[in-house]
Amino acid sequence: MATDWDGLSLEDRKQRFEEKKWEDEKQFRQRGPDWTSRFSPLLVTVITGMIALAASAVGALIQGSNTLNLEREKFSYTQTTEKEKFDYTRTMEKEKFDASQQLEKSKQQHELVLKMISVGDESQAKRNIRFLAESGLISDQVLAKKLLDVNVTGVLPASVDNSAAGQVSSSVGSAKLLALISPAALDLIVRFETGPDYYEKNLSHPFLSGSMGSGVTIGIGYDLGYASAAKMRSDWQGLLPDDVIDRLSNAVGVVGPAAELMATQLKDITIPWNAALSQFQTRTLPPIIDQLQSSLQNFGDLPPDSAGALVALAFNRGTTTFTRTGDTNAEMREIAQLMAERRFAEIPSQIRSMKRLWPSMPGLQQRRELEATLFEKGLR
């Protein structure tokens, strides 16, 4: 098929080709310009930058989200771990506290048993033990069963006072022991317990203190339920008529409900204030002073006011609390240590620290404050 290019030289054909190419490109451009040509170079640059910025922001957002999720997982793990640690610690502390409470309760029950057999009379000791077991005062069922099943009950010498102090050495007289404490301390101890007017109105006749394990009480805190007949006669001989002592001796070793009936039967007896005060000062306090002199190092080196403050404390809390375990006796043990180290000036703060034990009992808090103040007075 013949074309327009037939018969043309090579050079002419090349020229024709270039012209055709140029014509085609011209027609292509006339159909529609490239869309990029519609925008200025500056605008293209701006758009490109915005796209890059958006991409960067999206990347940062994704990375932030991943980091946040990681931190959340880390926080959740930490919270779970801390909670597990807290629960474990709380469980351990509760078990430790329960064990301590159980140990303290067990000690108290065994001390109660010892106190109930410290009457110097086997038959009375058996009755006291049976009362403890059957009344529920002994919560340890195994111990209660053993007490009820035992055929023989041990008997200890009767206790001297409510603090379980031992018998006063025969070589040391009551007057010499009382000389270790000041008259101010003696008055403070008596005032803590009672006073002439209150005594005459409320305590001058035999009564029951209100505790299930107590006996008939006469004078200033003298519990007949924990005294032997011989000790009771010795403590009140010369202070009360013999016939009154004979009647009161019937209440020796009697505790609980039986003691309540006994108190009613003895209600007509009157214990004069002077007799009660004399018995308390010359026969109840000396054994306590003697016990402190034996158990607390350097007690004899204390001034009378300071020594009297410790006697007042021991009369209220018991002489054995200086060596007992448990949180409730922490300050008492510390006082014994301070006495051994002769750090007397630090003792009042320990007495005041005991207020924590009775947060809702202002009477006992005031008692501790007055004891601490009296101790400090002795050191001046």
For residue range 320-376, list pLDDT tens digits in order: 899 999 999 999 999 999 999 999 999 999 999 999 999 998 988 999 999 999 999
Question: Domain for residue 221, yes or no?
Answer: yes
Question: Domain for residue 6, yes or no?
Answer: no
Q: Do 188 and 299 share a structural domain?
A: yes
Question: If you average pLDDT over residues 218-230, what whole number do you get?
Answer: 89
Question: Domain for residue 17, yes or no?
Answer: no
Question: Domain for residue 129, yes or no?
Answer: yes
Q: Do 185 and 307 share a structural domain?
A: yes
**Environment class of residue 228 by beta-carbon count within 10 Å: exposed (0-12), middle (13-18) or buried (19+)?**
buried
Greatest CA span in the chain, whole angstroms? 172
For 96-108, how does the pLDDT look when each residue is reduced to its tens digit (9 = 90+)? Answer: 555 545 545 555 5
Instruction: Tell me what the pLDDT averaged over the chain comes to.
Output: 78
Question: If you average pLDDT over residues 57-80, what whole number do you get?
Answer: 76
Question: Domain for residue 7, yes or no?
Answer: no
Question: If you average pLDDT over residues 88-103, what whole number do you get?
Answer: 57
Write down the residue that tokens 């018969």 correspond to: 7
Domains of the chain: total: 3
Q: Do 178 and 140 share a structural domain?
A: no
Distance, in Å, from the CA atom of 89 to the CA atom of 322, rounded to the nearest integer, reads 31
Q: Do 266 and 286 share a structural domain?
A: no
Q: Do 246 and 186 share a structural domain?
A: no
Domain that residue 229 falls in: 205-271
pTM: 0.54
What's the chain look like in SS3?
A: CCCCCCCCCHHHHHHHHHHHHHHHHHHHHHHCCCHHHHCCHHHHHHHHHHHHHHHHHHHHHHHHHHHHHHHHHHHHHHHHHHHHHHHHHHHHHHHHHHHHHHHHHHHHHHHHHHHHCCCCCHHHHHHHHHHHHHHCCCCCHHHHHHHHHCCCCCCCCCCCCCCCCCCCCCCCCHHHHHCCCCHHHHHHHHHHHCCHHHHHHHHCCCEECCCCCCEEEECCCEEHHHCCHHHHHHHHECCECHHHHHHHHCCCCCECHHHHHHHHHCCCCCCCHHHHHHHHHHHHHHHHHHHHHHHCCCHHHCCHHHHHHHHHHHHHHCHHHHCCCCHHHHHHHHHHHHHHCCCHHHHHHHHHHHHHHCCCCHHHHHHHHHHHHHHHHHHC
Q: Do 188 and 216 share a structural domain?
A: no
> What CATH number has the domain bearing residue 316?
1.10.530
Question: If you average pLDDT over residues 189-208, what whole number do you get?
Answer: 90
Would you state the pLDDT for residue 23?
Answer: 73
Q: Do 289 and 175 share a structural domain?
A: yes
Confidence band (pLDDT; 50, 70, 90) for 134? low
Residue 227, pLDDT > 70, answer yes
Q: Do 289 and 374 share a structural domain?
A: yes
Domain boundary among 271, 289, 305: 271
C-alpha torsion sign, points 152, 156, 157, 163: negative
Query: Which residues, in sequence order, are bridge partners of residue 217?
Result: 207, 223
Question: Domain for residue 43, yes or no?
Answer: no
Residue 234, pLDDT > 50, answer yes
Q: Do 364 and 236 share a structural domain?
A: no
Q: Do 306 and 266 share a structural domain?
A: no
Residue 156, pLDDT > 50, answer no
Q: Do 373 and 290 share a structural domain?
A: yes
Question: Domain for residue 11, yes or no?
Answer: no
Distance, in Å, from the CA atom of 315 to the CA atom of 291, rounded to the nearest integer, reads 11
Label residue 298 left, alpha or beta by phi (over 0 means left) and psi (-120 to 50 means alpha). left
Confidence band (pLDDT; 50, 70, 90) for 165? very low
Label residue 318 left, alpha or beta by phi (over 0 means left) and psi (-120 to 50 means alpha). left
The two three-digit tokens of residue 173, written as one number: 């007289």
Q: Do 250 and 180 share a structural domain?
A: no
Domain boundary among 222, 238, 271: 271
Domain boundary among 242, 271, 300: 271
Question: Domain for residue 82, yes or no?
Answer: no
